[in-house]
Amino acid sequence: MSDSTPADTFFDAAIGLLQRVRAEEAGSIEAAGTLLADTVAADGRLFAFGAGHSSLAAQDIVYRAGGLALMNLLVVPGVVGVDVMPATLGSALERVDGLASAVLDSSPLRSGDALVIISLSGRNALPVEMAMNARALGVRVIGVTSVAYASETKSRHVSGTYLKDHCDIVLDSKIAIGDAELTLDTIPAPFAPASTVVTTALLQAVMATAAASLAARGIEPPLLRSGNVDGGHDWNSRVFEQYSDRIFYRH
């Protein structure tokens, strides 16, 4: 009999997924980081979007110590987190046709920018429409999703397509359908999701790649420092001033 605890089993599952992503998505990570660096070097702006719990990974790369100051959160009211009441409303809004168009029409996104769209299933109308319409504007799109959903679930977009079908680069998180890593005979439903762990690590690897790619071109990456280290606020103020036309979360 195994002496592994549920915590051990979850850590093993998460580590296994991280190792798969590291090995199998290396080329896509390099390409995504290079795309972001290309955008920064060409005076473009960076945006990230995720709905529901996928928004956690988007928020993790915005206004982040050690992260690129130029990454902005593309906000869709009611779907950014679980603070909307009732929480189920956010899930319902993801399936509304036309919402992405309205958001993009009122956003600062323009041709030459880059948009990271995170959706675990990639099947709902909102992320699919967001990617389609952003690319039509001339925006480069990086999609972060579990490709497995496209082969085992039905799209909820009128086109029958998924997020992965409308991206310049796709990063596959390898998360199994249902996003739960553990099962026990004594518990009727699978439990312990790992998508946030894997997706945030995947995106931080992309951001690290982008920073190094900029530095290799002789461009200092516009990085933020922690406000909890001496000199951090002064450093960040200089970055905010230098890139004020490309940072929208301070307006």
Amino acid at 153: T
Q: How confident is the model at residue 80 (pLDDT cuts 50, 70, 90)?
A: confident
Cα separation, 68 vs 182, in Å, equals: 35
Q: Is the dihedral of CA 239, 244, 248, 251 positive or negative?
A: positive
Tokens describing residue 64: 């982040």
% of residues, the chain, pLDDT over 70: 99
Structure tokens at 190: 């699978």
- Whether 45 shows a pLDDT value over 70: the answer reads yes
Average pLDDT over residues 61-70: 97
CA–CA separation, 94 and 71 (whole Å): 23
Percent pLDDT > 90 in the chain is 77
Q: Is it the case that residue 40 has pLDDT exceeding 90?
A: yes
- Residue 92: its pLDDT value, please? 78
Rounded mean pLDDT, 57-66: 96
Query: According to the model, what pLDDT value does residue 1 have?
Result: 40
**Has residue 22 got a pLDDT over 70?**
yes
The model's pTM is: 0.94
pLDDT band, residue 222 (cuts 50/70/90): very high
Tell which wins on pLDDT, 202 or 153.
202
Which comes out higher in pLDDT, residue 127 or 78?
Answer: 127
Return d(Cα 65, Cα 224) in angstroms, integer. Answer: 5
Does 108 have pLDDT greater than 80? yes
Chain Cα centroid distance, residue 149 = 17
pLDDT of residue 135: 96
Q: Say if residues 49 and 61 touch (Cβ distance below 8 Å).
A: no
Q: What is the mean pLDDT of residues 36-52?
A: 96
Positive or negative, the CA dihedral 146, 138, 99, 196 is positive
Tokens in use for 235?
Answer: 């450093």
Give the chain's mean pLDDT: 93
Pairing of strands 140-145, 114-118: parallel
2 — pLDDT class (breaks 50, 70, 90) = low
What's the confidence (pLDDT) of residue 250? 84
CA distance 220 to 30: 19
In the structure, what pLDDT confidence band is assigned to residue 175 with cuts at 50, 70 and 90? very high
Residue 43 CB: number of other CB atoms within 10 A? Answer: 9
